[in-house]
Amino acid sequence: MPVLHNRISNEELKARMLAETEPRTTVSFYKYFHINEPQAFRDALYKQFEPLKVFGRIYIAHEGINAQASVPESQFEAFKETLFNAAPELNGVRLNIAVDDDGKSFWVLRMKVRNQIVADGIDDPNFNPANVGKYLKADEVNQMIDDPETVFVDMRNHYEYEVGHFQDAIEVPSDTFREQLPMALDMLKDNKDKNIVMYCTGGIRCEKASAYMLHNGFRNVFHVEGGIIEYARKAKEQNLPLKFIGKNFVFDERLGERITEDVIAHCHQCGKACDVHTNCKNDGCHLLFIQCEDCAVKHDGCCSEACVTEHHLPEEEQRALRAGRENGIKIFNKSKDHPLRKHREDWRKERDAADNL
């Protein structure tokens, strides 16, 4: 029986990817459609993608597929043919090509079966995720963004919104899509007669969110076709003004695609203009936060002095400290008692004081 998962260390796989000379294309796609046997579907697709040297992160569930992938340029047409033939519903599925891509986004193929491709927390049996809002192409997005009767709603996490968003878009301040859906309903309850435009990175979250808004009585609901990735690509192709400013956060090694040169975020340690996300170098932390070059040097890539100290301990002592410590995915603003919060509050006070002079 063939091996249907990777058995080589991450370090070796990453080294192999970095040694490659052939350019790669980073692509994302999703499709809501019913899959009878997700595990069998996953295994069959894995066996076809693996020889093509496709890397990436692909989730499969009864409700469909959600994927981010890196494909060698010479295999891209074979990749498309394989994907389009995997199921009738995938024939011609939209592929979002990365707009700011060095080809180093992934180094291994991970395909997992999940309960949902987007965890939404919806338990209403009458909800139909296929009843979605109207798609908006790039030129239509630009037309609607200047309409005072239109509200743009960002359906991404707070740390994504922080580094880039559509002009005047509403942030739904949450770390999870599951929390955002009821929050969006509450925030928009007085705008049911307005045009509601929802957007996200590649379209998968805002498409489901648009269906949820329609399900809850909103009438004029739209969503950006292909999300920020497709909007930016089409706007640049058509020489349209870019209404999304800053960076588009992405969930791979790049941690961001540059859309415009605007830097709208700030270093979480000193307050300097910066939109570079990084993970704390302390293996016992790995907090995701924004850090400028100066602070990266000053704090040795760590988020706090406590993490700097732990990062430089002998490996045995680090492992002993990590033993039994809960260390899931941590993002700045989730860890409310983290020392990094004090840095940010201090520079905000200094900035506000300077603005009032």
Count of Cβ atoms closer than 10 Å to residue 147 Cβ = 11
Q: Torsion-angle region of residue 279: left (phi > 0), alpha (psi -120 to 50) or beta?
A: beta
Q: Is position 122 within any domain? A: no
Summarised one tens digit per residue, pLDDT across range 53-87 is 999 999 999 989 999 999 999 999 999 999 999 99
Q: Does 272 lie in the same domain as 343?
A: yes
Q: Does 140 lie in the same domain as 53?
A: no
Helix or strand or coil: residue 239?
coil
Q: Does 233 lie in the same domain as 180?
A: yes
| Per-residue pLDDT at 173 exceeds 90 | no
Q: Rounded to an integer, what distance in angstroms lies between the CA atom of residue 111 and that of residue 38?
A: 11
Instruction: Kindly provide the b/e burial profile for residues 235-248, where b requires at least 16 CB atoms within 10 angstroms of the residue's own CB.
Output: beeeeeebbbbbbb
210: Cα separation from own chain's centroid: 18
Q: Does 310 lie in the same domain as 282?
A: yes
The reply to whether 200 belongs to the active site is yes
Round the CA-based radius of gyration of the chain to a whole number and report it: 21
Q: Is position 32 within any domain? A: yes
| Per-residue pLDDT at 341 exceeds 70 | no
| Per-residue pLDDT at 184 exceeds 70 | yes
Tokens 């790049």 map to which residue? 254
Domain span at 230: 134-246
Q: Does 300 lie in the same domain as 230?
A: no
pTM: 0.74
Q: What proportion of the chain, given as a percentage, has pLDDT over 90?
A: 57
Q: Is position 124 within any domain? A: no
Tokens 């180093």 map to which residue? 104
Quick check: 12 and 75 in contact, CB under 8 A? no
Q: Does 240 lie in the same domain as 212?
A: yes
Q: Is position 108 within any domain? A: yes
Q: Is position 120 within any domain? A: no
Summarised one tens digit per residue, pLDDT across range 197-220 is 999 988 888 989 999 999 999 999
For helices 177-187 and 204-215, give the axis angle rounded to 10 degrees: 40
Active-site position among 200, 292, 295, 303? 200
Average confidence (pLDDT) over 262-289: 92
317: Cα separation from own chain's centroid: 34
Q: Does 224 lie in the same domain as 272?
A: no
End-to-end CA distance of the chain: 72
Quick check: 280 and 309 in contact, CB under 8 A? no
Smallest CA-to-CA distance from 198 within 182, 213, 186 is with: 213
CA–CA distances in Å: residue 344 to residues 125, 336, 354: 43, 12, 15
Q: Rounded to an integer, what distance in angstroms lies between the CA atom of residue 291 and that of residue 272?
A: 9
What is the four-CA torsion angle of 110, 115, 116, 118, rounded to 10 degrees?
-70
Q: Does 199 lie in the same domain as 296?
A: no
Per-residue confidence (pLDDT) for residue 343, from 0 to 100: 47
The residues with which 55 forms a beta bridge, in sequence order, are 70
Per-residue confidence (pLDDT) for residue 345, from 0 to 100: 52
Q: Is position 258 within any domain? A: no
* Burial of 354: CB neighbours in 10 Å, binned 0-12, 13-18, 19+: exposed
Q: Rounded to an integer, what distance in angstroms lies between the CA atom of residue 44 and that of residue 60?
A: 12
- Judging by DSSP bridges, how do beta strands 55-61 and 109-113 pair with one another? parallel
Number of structural domains (the chain) is: 3
Q: Does 147 lie in the same domain as 107?
A: no
List the CATH number of the domain containing 59.
3.30.70.100
Q: Rounded to an integer, what distance in angstroms lies between the CA atom of residue 7 and that of residue 288?
A: 27
Summarised one tens digit per residue, pLDDT across range 102-124 is 667 788 899 999 998 888 888 88
For helices 76-84 and 38-49, give the axis angle rounded to 10 degrees: 160
Q: Is position 126 within any domain? A: no
The DSSP call for residue 219 is: -
| Per-residue pLDDT at 329 exceeds 50 | no
